[in-house]
Structure 1
């Protein structure tokens, strides 16, 4: 493994940053203390800093030399509404909130890379360090884009990473094409006439209709989506009624669907609407269907070919080819970094975190980022920058694998 010596020396400082973020988690669009901390650190490194993009987003700018080449590196900052169950000295001090997805580590690694690159300017061009809010279902990437991210910081390519507990610590996994699925939510509201539970014939049984709807929705993937396509439809909430002896006049079903194909995405939406309306008609009810009622859905996280080749080269230079999985199974999880990849070519890869405590996965109250991989992630970022923005004099020396 080829960890930069100066980054190895930054390990303890990155650990302290990471544990500070973990101790003071902030959820979507409330990451003000986190953003202020990051701004102060970036400014202390000598970077130009822009704050408040997309509500709480931060962008650090580091330009070296005369090249017009520009790339962006992105880390997410937000935590989750989960009560932490770890017994550690840096346990969350904010009740009901914790960094259960490793965004604390993502921010610390990118800060470490920014500090190293500010002190060791072995590249020619501009690097934008993007610290993004609200990845967890609130589309902070889209908010930053809508706020002028790429107009103000015109990167030619954008790169992201995420820690992953299913991968050995310090290993990478990446491939061109789909890495993570699209993400959409649905809400079905079935409305009828309430009645006494002992006299169901005098009203409309919305509960029975809800049960039929849940069952029918499972036929979308099994009978309407091509079997060679991956997709999932899950009902995750059912709300209705508040007493033992009355059938309510309304029940609400909520859930999510994921896939890797925009045509499948449209098919699933149409089938959800059709099934809900058809079941409602059979029971004499009204159906109101909403898709993504609170936040925009996420597109497929799709890696472009050239940028993926560049990410692979940088990862292999740091950990060796044997520790980079080039054929990972795409995840049904989703990422709002996909919005950035719709705007710019780029690559999103996974950095192995090793198994969580007791084998727990992401979004678990016992999950904790593995501080041992901080130098690996920071070294990857630095290697990527130095390879992508290598000085022109290096282009013909064999030192550069891919240059934008």
Structure 2
């Protein structure tokens, strides 16, 4: 492969430019424009922009094979103020690449450049650059825009960096890999009043505090100990002030699970507990419960293929099976509902701060890991006869 120092220096420059110019979901106009421009500079001509809003899909075909696989990278940033001293720190107030999508995009571009220049496969590769992963809407938008009909593929693969995992390491897991994410909002309505005379009204703050505690019994008393679940209240907002009791309280939060039946149990119990707690305090209650992400479930054959490709690139000793699924969520799961595939992790370094931290930075030393994997999985799966994992 043409992977000399100049090649990796170019990729580092791209990655740092993306880092300095982050864009929130469905606002990735500069990013998607640069992605399309670079793909054209590689000699790739089949490029469609605006898929699912700001997504880009490019197709590269070599040989006469009729099989197609897809490689996906997410492009969006987060609404977090960067607190680093990097020379290439975010130039956009309140927005930063705190999850490494700048690196994911760069690795897929690097793979596209290598595959366009060197080939080594027989069939078609779909390079899928996705918007708005962070809030779970980008994959659905691309699917609604006809992704699988307009750009059909038989398998799909994606990578995410992992803080704490050494650079050069690769992990994947068969089956459930990441959790579903549900969001909830509970609104309590009563009658506030002067803080010195609570008996004159039906203030909601005590009810809200009781409800926050009561919700913790969902996991401890209603979900089987053999099942995994998390119910977290993340916000408690009222219209009260220092000497005025509130009339309205909003309780917002997040629930994670790995099975549909557990998600359904959480919702049913949350509604029951919220209604019952509100009634015991004589206040009104409205509950909104939404499912933002579904579980990410890796296909056994595709995962075996991903592990085999990673071993070819990195060596047996650097590739492992993850023993537990993660409680984070990922909208790549929506693609896996349409085609088998694998979502895997590469090391961002043992000293990396966690994703979504205001000082997070994708480790440029990990660029060869992801780029090499993407190239190898294409050559394995689109060989004249697909390599058997």
Give the Å deviation of 1:318: 0.9
Give the Å deviation of 1:378: 0.3
1:122 corresponding residue in structure 2: 120
Give the Å deviation of 1:193: 1.2
Unaligned runs of 5+ in 1: none
Give the Å deviation of 1:241: 2.6
Q: Quick one: distance in 1 between partners of 2:175 and 2:340?
A: 11
2:331 corresponding residue in structure 1: 336
Normalised by the size of structure 1, how large is the TM-score? 0.94
Question: Secondary structure at the residue paired with 2:293?
Answer: coil
1:62 corresponding residue in structure 2: 60
Unaligned runs of 5+ in 2: none
Q: Quick one: distance in 2 between partners of 1:7 and 1:369?
A: 21
Deviations along 1:374-400, one digit per CA (max 9) or x if unpaired, are 0111000000000000024xx6xxxx2
Give the Å deviation of 1:205: 2.4
Name which of 354, 361, 373 aligns with 2:354: 361
Runs of 4+ displaced beyond 3 Å = none
Question: Secondary structure at the residue paired with 1:347?
Answer: strand
1:78 corresponding residue in structure 2: 76
- Aligned-residue CA RMSD (Å): 1.2
Give the Å deviation of 1:166: 2.1
Normalised by the size of structure 2, how large is the TM-score? 0.97
Name which of 33, 38, 41 aligns with 1:36: 33
* 1:132 equivalenced with 2:121 (yes/no): no
1:380 corresponding residue in structure 2: 373
**Map of 1:2-401 to 2, 5 A cutoff?**
4=1, 6=3, 9-47=6-44, 48-292=46-290, 297-356=292-351, 359-392=352-385, 400-401=387-388
Question: Secondary structure at the residue paired with 2:180?
Answer: coil
Deviations along 1:61-91, one digit per CA (max 9) or x if unpaired, are 1011111101000000000111111111111
Give the Å deviation of 1:355: 3.0
Q: Quick one: distance in 2 between partners of 1:222 and 1:288?
A: 24
Q: Quick one: distance in 2 between partners of 1:366 and 1:113?
A: 27
CA contact 2:298–2:342 (8 Å) conserved in 1 = yes
Give the Å deviation of 1:7: 6.5
Give the Å deviation of 1:136: 0.6
- In the superposition, relative to structure 1, how do residues 7 and 107 fare at CA in structure 2: closer, same or farther (>3 Å)? farther
Give the Å deviation of 1:5: 5.0
Q: Quick one: distance in 1 between partners of 2:50 and 2:299?
A: 29
Give the Å deviation of 1:325: 1.6
Q: Quick one: distance in 2 between partners of 1:187 and 1:123?
A: 50
Q: Quick one: distance in 2 between partners of 1:385 and 1:9?
A: 23
Deviations along 1:22-74, one digit per CA (max 9) or x if unpaired, are 01000010000000000000111121100001110000110111111010000
Give the Å deviation of 1:8: 5.9
Question: Secondary structure at the residue paired with 2:255?
Answer: strand
CA contact 1:84–1:92 (8 Å) conserved in 2 = yes
